[in-house]
Homo-oligomer: A and B are copies of this chain.
Amino acid sequence: MIVNYQGLIKKIKGTSVPKPLSGTLSGHAAGEPFDKHVYAAIRNQFPKNTFRQYEYLNDLYSKNPDIIGFDARQELFNSPTVLFMLSRGKNATDKWSTENPFEEKQNDTADILVVKDKFYELIDIKTRNISKSAQPPNIISAYKLAQLCAKMLDNKEFDNFTINYFEIDWLLENDKLSCQNAHFGCLFNANPTDLYINWAAAMQIQFHVCDLDQTFKSEREEWSREYLKHFVTQAKRRADDMITKFVKPFEKYIK
């Protein structure tokens, strides 16, 4: 890992950001200033290595102005696995130019990307209003993660990237959002078998970063296989549950 998260927690804890102007303090928008705050702190430490995901792509494609079109631009990534996580779709990539760069997209994999010595550290910021009890947030699509694991295994790429989560617990104090605590978790240090997949919520894996166990000690290859086993088991169970819940109770109404 590149970023020192214990240092980052110390730096962020106790700080505050202005309350967003737009009405409600619920949901995504409220914590957004903290996201920028963390980005600034990391960028301060690694000014040449810290990007927004779309910034990284804009930077990569700008530095290679002769490489044009989806296929050629795909080749710019030194890793099929990283390519899978970071690149945009064919149509958007074909249309990319310095006059028509990428903008931020809500379902990009990472909020922040730190790239150093061909190692990619993906960081997702999760902000949380601790005055309310809320369901665990969406982390990543369980299917996307399954595809990622398959790519790691296909390409034997286990060491060139990681996916980290950083949670900021805030409270509204004197018209400011004040950071009470912060937590760090690495996806691949969590036991893959314990990851909760919410099939009804677009197959999202959901957890609070502060609750993520970090006890998995084996290699990434092992993690990938265990996750795929878990995903397949859960998918089968969900398919069975769908029959139980959505087919059986309604059969009596159908002649």
Question: A residues touching B (Cβ–Cβ < 8 Å)?
Answer: 21-23, 143, 146, 149-150, 153, 200-203, 224-225, 228-229, 231-232, 235-236, 238-240, 242-243, 245-247, 249-251, 253-255
Contacts and interface: CB of A to CB of B under 8 A. Distances in A.
A115 to B, nearest CB: 28
Given A228-B254, A239-B243, A254-B229, A150 B249 contact: yes
Nearest to A203: B200
A11 B228 CA distance: 56
A193 to B, nearest CB: 13
Contacts of A202: 200-202
10 nearest CB pairs, A to B:
A22-B22, A235-B246, A239-B239, A239-B242, A228-B253, A228-B250, A229-B254, A232-B247, A235-B247, A232-B250
A247 B235 CA distance: 7
B149 A246 contact: no
Given A200-B202, A201-B202, A150 B235 contact: no
> How many copies of this chain does one complex carry?
2
Contacts of A228: 250, 253-254
A29 to B, nearest CB: 8
A150 B250 contact: yes
Nearest to A249: B150
A28 to B, nearest CB: 11
Contacts of A246: 143, 146, 231-232, 235
29 contacts: A21-B22, A143-B246, A146-B250, A149-B253, A150-B249, A153-B253, A200-B203, A201-B202, A202-B202, A225-B253, A225-B254, A225-B255, A228-B250, A228-B253, A228-B254, A231-B246, A231-B250, A232-B246, A232-B250, A232-B251, A232-B254, A235-B246, A236-B243, A236-B247, A238-B242, A239-B240, A239-B242, A239-B243, A239-B247
